[in-house]
Structure 1
Amino acid sequence: MESPAITIDGLTKRFGSLTAVDDLSFTVAPGRVTGFLGPNGSGKTTTLRMLLGLVEPTSGRALIGDRPFRQIPHPAQHVGAALEASSFHPGRTGIGHLKALAPQVGVPTSRCREVLDFVGLSQAADRRVGGYSMGMRQRLGLATALLGNPQIILLDEPANGLDPQGIVWLRGLLRSLAHEGRTVLVSSHVLAEVRSTVDDVVVIGNGKLVRASTLSDFEALAEHAVVVRTPSRASFVALAGERGWQIEDTHDGFRIPGVTAATVGTAAFTAGIELHQLADVGADLEAVFLNLTKSSDAPTSHFPSGPPGPPAAGPTSPEAVR
């Protein structure tokens, strides 16, 4: 059975004179990882809390499939969420935390050991959560979200506190969950954290939608550039002028936006200019992200209607360890 989509429709939340979320609309498709991006304070967590029925919207709807979260029977078996990595009783052990939740979720206590092993916390299962590192609490939050083997996964800043190895592990986990057809929504204020993971991006700023598209369409907004180092600086500057390149001096070389390394290399070779470095530095997605979130006046949406592309390899799924 295909996982339901998430629909945010005209969602607005005001706290007195502050509008935290402003007429926000987007969808999250099953079988894909969607990155929910925006600066701190842009309204991401408030949106997730409204989706989970923890905050009442001023107007609009937040739906899981065709219904609000509060109308879903046994919701933890359908939706798994980790919004905070610190919402654990410090005196409880990791396994104790999950065993306390298992009856509410409606799963046997044997499932608790399975998900702790799945997130790499089996060795720390009997340690008190108060002694866990930030990264370990993030993993426990993921175990909590996966306890009911849900089809919808909502994670708020899940990479916080993870070391590089943990971030690689998290990417594989999210890809594997999406590969099973689950609907995965991951919030972050750092694009680099999710760039290698997501299929789609939803970018908000000041509570408003500023971009909803596939990652590839988002990358198309970025300007590619080439960096060059040469001992013949004057000759290269003259060549750039002849070719109409807009070059930027980087002290030990040049940055040239809007051209490819092949174009620059061919022109330099033809002109007899020696190059000590020629590299395509790719798209500056962070610059695009920062520029988009400076203003929220022109929302756009370009989600695909076709099937997702092939997923990256990932770890064994929670379904396999049940």
Structure 2
Amino acid sequence: MYSPAITIEGLTKRFGAVTAVDDLSFAVAPGRVTGFLGPNGSGKTTTLRMLLGLVEPTAGRALIGGRPYREIRRPAREVGAALEASSFHPGRTGLGHLQALAPQVGVPTARCKEILDFVGLADAANRRVGGYSMGMRQRLGLATALLGDPGIIILDEPANGLDPQGIVWLRGLLRALAAEGRTVLLSSHVLAEVRATVDDVVVIGNGRLVRASTLTEFEDLAVHAVAVRTPNPASFVALARERGWQVEDAPGGFRVHGVDTATVGSAAFAHGIELHELSDAGADLEAVFLQLTGAPAPAGVPMQTGAIR
């Protein structure tokens, strides 16, 4: 039977005059993948380190199955964590790394080869970790976390260094683990990386909780957009201005916010405006994420969409 949820209650951590985590509370449900989201420096890693007993909270508590991590008798059998993809001895092989941990975790050494194969590192098992790529180290970190077959998996930025194929593999693996009833918590500062993976989101900014909900509820905050390409851009912009639509330039055309394809298509047809593309561009979740967390928009990305030309 897998462990129950993670609970964070009023968690606070101050480093001198700096408050890294500020009265943070949320819960992580079993059988689901929860994305722990926030910009770099928002307090995600500090929170996870407090959860794992690596940093002492200034106030509040972080519980796993209703207990602090340090009270779990065989923690690696209940909680698998990977916070850094570089915390390996470079002179050891991948297999040697896991074999050194196996007695502490309480698993047979045969489990080491089994889990390396599971994460796609069977061919690199006898290579020194110092020669591993970032993506391979991420896989080894995941193998370390899964060595004890835990019911709770905690991963900090697990997609860093993975190629597109690796990201798809990771997504499927995390979904499968959650489907088995395990609790999966992963942190990221890039919403797009976890959007297709998570069931729930916990969003923090400047160490404080700004949103905790299902992904579906989070998506409801976003404004949907329609992609348009037309050989009559001036006429289309005039139509948009007349209808009060919010429009921004996009490669080869426009993005129209807050309306659906049927509305745009009907209006363009009625005004005799030829369209070469009319498609659903989806919800702009990144804009919601940036606005909730107060993070600066990347260069070239407007914080406020909808400026009519």
Q: Do the two structures share a fold, i.e. TM-score over 0.5?
A: yes
CA distance in 2, matches of 1:101, 1:71: 20
CA distance in 2, matches of 1:120, 1:250: 39
Query: What letter is aligned with 2:47?
Result: T
Return the offset for 1:228. Answer: 1.8
Structure 1 residue 181 corresponds to structure 2 residue 184? no
Q: Is the 8 A contact 1:115 1:147 kept in 2?
A: yes
What is residue 290 of structure 1 aligned with on the other side? Answer: 290
What is residue 278 of structure 2 aligned with on the other side? Answer: 278
Unaligned runs of 5+ in 2: 296-309
- Which range moved further: 237-246 or 164-173? 237-246
CA distance in 1, matches of 2:26, 2:16: 25
CA distance in 2, matches of 1:149, 1:12: 31
Return the offset for 1:250. Answer: 4.7
CA distance in 1, matches of 2:250, 2:104: 59
Return the offset for 1:280. Answer: 1.7
SS at match of 1:247: strand
CA distance in 2, matches of 1:234, 1:138: 50
Deviations 1:235-282 (A, max 9, x none): 333433443323335585332210011111122123322112212211
What is residue 302 of structure 2 aligned with on the other side? Answer: none
CA distance in 2, matches of 1:249, 1:119: 42
- Superposed counterparts of 1:15-94, under 5 Å: 15-94=15-94
Deviations 1:76-121 (A, max 9, x none): 0000000000000011111110010000001111110110010000
CA distance in 1, matches of 2:74, 2:247: 60
CA distance in 1, matches of 2:103, 2:248: 62
- Superposed counterparts of 1:54-203, under 5 Å: 54-203=54-203
Structure 1 residue 246 corresponds to structure 2 residue 246? yes
- Which range moved further: 235-244 or 5-14? 235-244
SS at match of 1:177: helix
- Which range moved further: 45-54 or 218-227? 218-227
Under a length normalisation based on structure 1, what TM-score does the superposition of the two structures give? 0.89
Return the offset for 1:215. Answer: 0.5
What is residue 236 of structure 1 aligned with on the other side? Answer: 236
Structure 1 residue 5 corresponds to structure 2 residue 36? no
CA distance in 1, matches of 2:184, 2:249: 42
Deviations 1:21-64 (A, max 9, x none): 00000000000000001111111111001000011100101000
What is residue 299 of structure 1 aligned with on the other side? Answer: none
User: 1:6–1:244: structure 2 CA closer, same or farther, 3 Å change rule?
Assistant: same
Unaligned runs of 5+ in 1: 296-322
Q: Which runs of 4+ in 1 moved over 4 A?
A: 249-252
CA distance in 1, matches of 2:72, 2:238: 67
CA distance in 1, matches of 2:275, 2:100: 65
Percent of aligned pairs with the same amino acid = 82
Deviations 1:113-132 (A, max 9, x none): 11001000011111111111
What is residue 14 of structure 2 aligned with on the other side? Answer: 14
Deviations 1:162-217 (A, max 9, x none): 11110000001100000000000000111111011000000111110011110111
Q: Is the 8 A contact 1:3 1:181 kept in 2?
A: no
Q: How many residues align?
A: 295
Deviations 1:216-240 (A, max 9, x none): 1111111111122222334333433
SS at match of 1:54: coil
Query: What letter is aligned with 2:266?
Result: T
CA distance in 1, matches of 2:234, 2:39: 42
User: 1:189–1:246: structure 2 CA closer, same or farther, 3 Å change rule?
Assistant: closer
What is residue 262 of structure 1 aligned with on the other side? Answer: 262
What is residue 213 of structure 1 aligned with on the other side? Answer: 213
CA distance in 1, matches of 2:154, 2:111: 20
User: 1:20–1:228: structure 2 CA closer, same or farther, 3 Å change rule?
Assistant: same
User: 1:238–1:17: structure 2 CA closer, same or farther, 3 Å change rule?
Assistant: closer
Query: What letter is aligned with 2:123?
Result: Q
Deviations 1:263-321 (A, max 9, x none): 111221233221122122111111111111118xxxxxxxxxxxxxxxxxxxxxxxxxx
Query: What letter is aligned with 1:86?
Result: S
SS at match of 2:235: helix
